[in-house]
Amino acid sequence: MKHFSIAAFSFALFLVACGGDSSSISAGDSSTEADSSSSIVSDDSKESSDSKSNDKVASSSSVKKVESSSSEKKTDSEKSSSSEKSSGDETKSSSSKETTSSSSEAESSSSLAGSVYDADKKTLTDNRDGQVYKTTTIGDQIWMAENLNYADSSETPSLKGKNWCFDNDTAKCTTGGRLYTWAAAIDSVKLAAAAENPLDCGYGKACSLEGKVQGICPEGWHLPDTTEWHKLFTAVGGQSTAGKMLKSATGWEEGNGSDDYSFSALPVGWRDFALFNKAGQDAVFWSATEKTDDTFHTFSYIMELNYNNEGAYLGNDSKDYGFSVRCLKDAE
């Protein structure tokens, strides 16, 4: 019985000892788990913190990118605005240049309903038939440098039966212009139909023309009178050498001119009552001035250049002969 009690007591002590170890183990496990949990929490927290830090960096980077993008957009916008402004300035500049150019062209040319004179190109365009003539400035006068070749008798009835090409060869009109009677040259039909001061002019009729006579010249130009022919002679050095100065440098049988002033008078000849004469030898031009002491009123003044003379002749001849016409620009 004693042995049983001792044994029972020993067994009880054994159980107590075992229970204390189990508690210790439990506590240790618990501590370990707590440490592990703490470690895990700490790692998670770190990861979370790192993640947030990364997110912040990413966010900051994103903000910078947005700001950069915004800056780039702003810069692009400014560039675009600057480009548009530059383009606008260029357009304005271009427009200004065009206006200046247009203004400059307007200053260098004058246009009337019936003609266009271009000072830069030295040309006269006759809008009645579209023909273009060379011009030349001599002193303060501007002359056609070619003979008139206008022949529209529908618009200008004065021309009917009163103008010709030399030898009736149209090719000669192209190079040397037409030959006109004096009545045709002064446009006698128009003068007779004038509302104010109508004049009956022509062969056998005295009409005492005064002032500027347009005649068959384009608008803004006129048929020169004797005073204006004399002024031309003076401008080229005097009447005694005017022939040499005004004649073309080629085309004359002999005695070609020097053509120093680009008047370029060609020896196209002339027509009497029925025949063509003196091609290669003479150039004869009408004046608007009548011969006032002519009893039968059949003569008007002409300016003539001859192949064997260096001078210029200012005389008179029959109104019914066919001579050339050179027009003079109206003074402005």
**What pLDDT is attached to residue 110?**
78
**Residues 261-288, mean pLDDT to the nearest whole number:** 98
Rank 106-120, 198-212, 299-313 by mean pLDDT and report only the highest.
Answer: 299-313
CB of 191 within 8 A of CB of 158? Answer: no
**What pLDDT is attached to residue 87?**
44
**What pLDDT is attached to residue 112?**
80
Q: What is the pLDDT of residues 172-227, one digit of tens each?
A: 999 999 999 999 999 999 999 999 989 999 999 998 898 999 999 999 999 999 99
- Give the chain's length: 332
Is the model's pLDDT at 253 over the cut of 60? yes
Question: What is the band of 255 on the pLDDT scale with cuts at 50, 70, 90?
Answer: very high
**Residues 106-127, mean pLDDT to the nearest whole number:** 87
Question: What is the band of 56 on the pLDDT scale with cuts at 50, 70, 90?
Answer: very low
**Residues 31-56, mean pLDDT to the nearest whole number:** 37
Question: What is the band of 108 on the pLDDT scale with cuts at 50, 70, 90?
Answer: low
**Residues 36-65, mean pLDDT to the nearest whole number:** 37
**What pLDDT is attached to residue 80?**
41
- Give residues with Cβ within 8 angstroms of 145, minimum separation 6: 122, 133, 134, 135, 136, 262, 263, 264
Is the model's pLDDT at 123 over the cut of 90? yes
Is the model's pLDDT at 291 over the cut of 70? yes
- Mean pLDDT over the full length of the chain: 78
Is the model's pLDDT at 24 over the cut of 60? no
* Residue the block writes with tokens 């529209």: 152
Q: What is the pLDDT of residues 61-104, one digit of tens each?
A: 433 333 343 344 334 444 344 444 444 444 444 444 444 444 44
Question: What is the band of 109 on the pLDDT scale with cuts at 50, 70, 90?
Answer: confident
Prediction pTM value: 0.69
pLDDT top residue among 176 and 332: 176
**Residues 111-137, mean pLDDT to the nearest whole number:** 95
Task: State how far the Cα of 14 lies from the Cα of 271, in Å rounded to an integer.
Answer: 168
**What pLDDT is attached to residue 281?**
98
pLDDT top residue among 35 and 231: 231
Between 72-81, 159-168, 237-246, the lowest mean confidence (pLDDT) is in 72-81
**What pLDDT is attached to residue 52?**
37
Tokens of 161: 């039966």
Task: State how far the Cα of 293 lies from the Cα of 281, in Å rounded to an integer.
Answer: 29
Closest CA to 266 of 222, 312, 307, 322: 307
Task: State how far the Cα of 105 lies from the Cα of 103, in Å rounded to an integer.
Answer: 5
